[in-house]
Structure 1
Amino acid sequence: MNAMMRRVVIGTTAISMALAVAACGKAGDDKSDSGDKTSSGGDKSIGLLLPDSVTTRYAKFDKPYFDAKVKELCSDCTLEYANAAGSAATQAQQVSSMITKGVKVIAISAVDSAAIKSSIQAAVDKGIKVVAYDRLAQGPVSAYVSFDNAKVGELQGQALLDAMGAKATPKAKVVMINGLASDPNAALFKSGAHKVLDSKVDIAYEQAGDWDAGVAAQKMSAAITQLGAKNIAGVYAANDAMAGGIATVLKGKNISSTPLTGQDAELTGIQRIVAGTQSSTIYKAYKPEADGAAELAVNLLQGKSIDSIATSTETSGSGDKVPSLLLPPVSLTKANIKDTVVKDGLYTVAEICTGEFAAACKTAGLQ
Structure 2
Amino acid sequence: MRTRTRHLVAALVAGLMTLSLAACGGDDVADTDGFTVGLLLPSRAVPRWEHSDKPLIEQRLKELCPRCTMEYANAENDAARQREQLMSMITKGVEVLILDAADTRAVRSSIQEARKADIPVVSYDRLAEGPISGYVTVDGGQVGKLQGEALLKAMSDRGNGENVVMLNGDPTSPNAAWYKRGTLSVIKGKVTISRSYDILGWSKDNAHTNMSAAIAALGPDRIDGVLAVNDSIAAGAVAAFKSAGVRKLPPITGQDADIEAVRRIIRGEQYMTVYKPFAAEADTAAAMAVALARGEGLDDVSTTSTDSSTTEDIPSVLLTPSAVTVDNIERTLVKDGVYTVDQICTPELRRACEKAGLTR
Both structures adopt the same fold (TM-score exceeding 0.5): yes
Secondary structure in structure 1 of the residue aligned to 2:212: helix
Q: 1:162 corresponds to which residue? A: 153
| Corresponding residue SS for 1:334 | coil
> In structure 1, how many angstroms separate the alpha carbons of the residues matched to 2:105 and 2:310?
8
Aligned residue in 1 for 2:15: 20
The equivalent position to 1:193 in structure 2, one of 162, 168, 183, is: 183
Q: Is the 8 A contact 1:168 1:201 kept in 2?
A: no
Q: In the TM superposition, what is the alpha-carbon distance from 1:156 to its structure 2 partner? A: 0.6
- Number of the residue aligned with 2:41: 50
CA contact (8 A) 1:66 1:291 kept: yes
Select the residue among 323, 329, 353 that pairs with 1:337: 329
| Cα distance, 1:22 vs structure 2 | 4.0
The CA distance in 1 between the partners of 2:218 and 2:302, in whole Å, is 46
For residues 231-284 of structure 1, the C-alpha deviation after alignment (integer angstroms, 9 at most, x for no partner) is: 110000000011011111112331543100000000000000000000000000
The offset of 1:353, in angstroms, is 0.8
2:192 corresponds in structure 1 to: 202
Q: 1:275 aligns with which of 258, 267, 275?
A: 267
Superposition deviation, residue 345 in structure 1: 1.2
Relative distance call for 1:112 and 1:228 in structure 2 (3 A) is: same
The structural deviation recorded for 1:43 is 6.9
For 1:107 and 1:215, how far apart are their aligned partners in 2?
A: 28
- Residue from 215, 229, 233 that aligns with 2:206: 215
Is 1:175 matched with 2:165? yes
TM value normalised by structure 2:
0.90
Residue matched to 2:71: 80
CA contact (8 A) 1:138 1:320 kept: no
- Take 2:233 and 2:354, find their aligned partners in 1: how far apart are those partners? 27
Deviation at 1:310, TM superposition (A): 1.1
Distance 1:164 1:345 in 2: 31
Structure 1 spans left out of the alignment, 5+ residues:
1-13, 25-41
**Does the 8 Å CA contact 2:11/2:319 hold for their aligned counterparts?**
no
| Matched residue SS, 2:183 | helix
Report the equivalent of 1:10.
none
1:139/1:320 contact within 8 Å kept: no
Task: Let me know the Cα RMSD of the aligned residues.
Answer: 1.6
- Equivalent of 1:324 in 305, 316, 341: 316
Contact 2:11 2:320 in 1 (8 A): no
- Cα separation, partners in 2 of 1:168 and 1:110, compared to 1, 3 Å: farther
Q: Which among 115, 120, 127 is matched to residue 118 of structure 2?
A: 127
Secondary structure in 2 matching 1:111: coil
Deviation per CA, 1:25-53: give whole Å up to 9, x if none. xxxxxxxxxxxxxxxxx971111000001
1:331 counterpart SS class: strand
Instruction: Show the counterpart of 1:153.
Output: 144
Could you tell me the TM-score, scaled by structure 1's length?
0.88
